Amino acid sequence: MNILISGGTGLIGRALTRNLLADGHHVSILSRSPQKYAAAFPDAELLQWDGRTADGWAHALAQANAVINLAGAGVADKRWTPARKRLILDSRINAGTAIVAAIEQSPRKPAVLIQSSAVGFYGENPGDTPLTEAAPAGDDFLAQVCVAWEASTAAVEALGVRRAVIRTGVVLAAKGGALPRMALPFRFFVGGRIGSGRQWTPWIHIADEVAAIRFLLENEAAHGTFNLSAPNPVTNAEFSRALGKALHRPALIPVPSLALKALFGEMASVLLGGQRAIPQNLQSLGFTFQYSDAAAALRDLL
């Protein structure tokens, strides 16, 4: 299979690309800095793109069986200034618009497009109700970003392209992503719950994230939205205790909400909120999680 990936150099994209290459697939990665990543992906094709248009890479779609759109500026990388919030939104909409334009122009359409999104779609703190894919969108900034992100490639369906939208939770990986930063205070014996600890943590092991994307890529019955999070979400307090146990450290020192808000501003909502997301549609299609228990996932990674 020939697969075109935008955002292929991020945490999910790197793991997915290596998994696809190991199985003999041809992978083309759209990157603003292809030379920077050439050594990391010697067996992949890296194509220059500006994240806004189809210039310079649209020809690759004529050979692509599938497109996976993971592109978007990091949500928790920097404090949310007005300019940063605009970048978070625009980077996602522009990437989706460029991909739709390229598919429209291509004489041969890909069979499927996997569109990235996040469980932030449901709002920063919708409470204890289990959230299936049928739950409505929230009204905060990240929820609005997710709504626009998902809509950015919706037009490909009218072109006959099967589309699956993945609403991903917190991806747990040994290197990169949130887990190393979450584990750091525990390593220094100062770890604990964040805020009240009652907020839900919709987590997923990187191995299951990759496997789920592969499953949706290859299953012709997969279309619509899918929560990519483990079937057993836990509260932040429960996750913190499991993280401390995996590192053989206590989980006794809470991080006050006011301190986080003072340090990160509006971005603190990412840490203080959470969603009790349930992967109903994914499991209904027959996907089986390798890691459904947070403690087991953390032991494996740490």
pLDDT in tens, the chain (302 residues): 999 999 999 999 999 999 999 999 999 999 999 999 989 999 999 999 999 999 989 999 999 999 999 999 999 888 999 999 999 999 999 999 999 999 999 999 999 999 999 999 999 988 899 999 999 999 999 999 999 999 999 999 999 999 999 999 999 999 999 999 999 999 999 999 999 999 999 999 999 999 999 999 999 999 999 999 999 999 999 999 999 999 999 999 999 998 888 888 888 888 889 999 999 999 999 999 999 999 999 999 99
pTM: 0.96
198 in Cβ contact with 235 (< 8 Å): yes
CATH, domain range 2-169+203-230+276-290: 3.40.50.720
Q: How far apart are CA 64 and CA 111, in angstroms?
A: 8
Helix (H, G, I), strand (E, B) or coil at 91: helix
Nearest to 119 by CA among 280, 223, 275, 233: 275
Neighbours of 89 (CB within 10 A): 18
Beta bridge partners of 170: 203
Side-chain-facing half-sphere of 91: CA atoms under 13 Å? 18
Q: How far apart are CA 106 and CA 110, in angstroms?
A: 9
Question: Given this model, what pLDDT does residue 242 score?
Answer: 97
Domain borders along the chain are 2-169+203-230+276-290
Nearest to 227 by CA among 173, 285, 185: 285
Question: Given this model, what pLDDT does residue 260 score?
Answer: 86
Neighbours of 241 (CB within 10 A): 21
Torsion sign (Cα): 145, 147, 153, 155 = negative
Torsion sign (Cα): 222, 228, 230, 234 = negative
